[in-house]
Amino acid sequence: MQVVYSPAHLGHDVSVETYMGSPVPANEVAERAERIRSALESDGGFPISGPTAHGLEPITAVHEPGLVRFLEEAWSAVRSQGIERPFLSADTYPNRSMFEGMSDDAIRDIVREPRHIGGRAGFWGLDSAAPLVAGTYVAALAAVDVALTAVDLVLGGERAVYGLCRPPGHHAARSMYGGYCFFNNAAIAADSIARSTGERVAVLDVDFHHGNGTQQIFWRRGDVRYVSIHADPDRQYPYFLGRADETGEGEGSGENLNIPLQAGATNGDYLDSLDRALEAIAAAPGSVIVVSLGFDTYGLDPIGDFALTTDVYHEIGKRTAALRRRLVILQEGGYHRPSLGENARAWLRGAEGRAFDPLPANGFGPGGTVTG
């Protein structure tokens, strides 16, 4: 299987993020993508090539131009405003209750993007745990190019291509970044496929977290079906979206399927949900699936609470490919660094119909048997 990768992600790296206001070791670090790249290189079956530049048009087809401008200017504004911090994170968010009692018209007239960069980050940001640094914008642009190059290869005849996107994308909405995501790589890919083929597209999101950004972008669209299996937002980020009763509106009515799962979800629980998700995808026409692939469902993930094991990723890839649609597979989260390479290799080999073939003595945590 062809792999698309760009070293530009290396410019977006941090050692610390904040969790509920306190500094904690960063989760979404450059080492993640390097672990995956090196495991795929060692496998020998995954030729890696660089992305081609696709410009801003496919990005602004999905994202508000003001968000793009903010991300482009943010780091130089941090410096020119004399803020000596290792990364940018919001100071103040426009909580909706700040405007309680004001009409929508009044809000539109009065509330605008401020000049202070800590306020600007609050205006465009979802949460305080998505640090932005000097190389973030260039890395985020490259991740989109990785996704769109994977799209080109698939539309050019490849059956499945893996885009090693970093930073990830599925929490980024039309006018919002957050959750370690800046541009929504999968949504940009799905929108681009829908526009260039005129076909319907499905997004299958198997990251541990709900892809609130992807859901928001396609909420009213009938041409892109979004199906996600994730931690119940009652207990996990992004907290405010991801429930089963969110099904879309207007032309998008019935096109959004959320499958929330309980803490401790096992391989068997997950495969049952996957079969439901795949049924929903098979029920709509279309020949391409965009996969938002996260490994934060792994049992040892530091921020997830599911119990999946490496062998189940092979099975998930295999069942996804069994729909016999073309696959644009894009990397999202997954934070247990030692297992990332093997988990990615297992998933992608499963999708290709190759045997699991785990590396000897390279199991992490409890072994597991696929059930269900």
Residues designated as active site: 171
Question: Rule CB under 6 A: is residue 303 a binding residue for ligand SP5?
Answer: yes
**Structure-token match 């930073």, residue found:** 167
Nearest CB to Zn ion, comparing residues 296 and 352: 296
Residue 181 binding result from Zn ion, ligand SP5, none, given CB thresholds of 5 to 8 Å by partner type: ligand SP5
Q: Which residue is nearest to ligand SP5 (CB)?
A: 333
Number of other CB atoms surrounding residue 328 within 10 Å: 30
Q: Coil, strand, or helix at residue 229?
A: strand
Q: How far apart are CA 244 and CA 20, in angstroms?
A: 27
- Residue 168 sits in the site that holds ligand SP5 (CB under 6 A): yes
Q: Which parts of 40-79 interact with ligand SP5 (CB under 6 A)? A: none
Rounded Cα distance, 37 and 51, in Å: 15
Q: Which helix (H) or strand (E) holds 260?
A: strand 256-261
- Residue with smaller CB distance to ligand SP5, 31 or 357: 31
Q: Does 208 bind Zn ion (CB under 5 A)?
A: yes
Residue 3, helix vs strand vs coil: strand
303: partner contacted, choices ligand SP5, Zn ion, none (Cβ within 5-8 A by kind)? ligand SP5
Which CB sits closer to Zn ion, 68 or 274?
274
Beta carbon of residue 108, minimum distance to ligand SP5 (angstroms, whole number): 30
| By CB under 6 A, residue 269 contacts ligand SP5 | no
123 contributes a contact to ligand SP5 by CB under 6 A: no
298 strand-pairing partners: 308
Closest CA to 170 of 211, 120, 222, 229: 211
Helix (H, G, I), strand (E, B) or coil at 189: helix
Evaluate whether 272 touches 371 at the Cβ level (below 8 Å). Answer: no
Interacting residues with Zn ion (CB under 5 A): 207-209, 294, 296, 333
Interacting residues with ligand SP5 (CB under 6 A): 19, 129, 168, 171, 179-181, 207, 209, 237, 294, 296, 303, 332-333
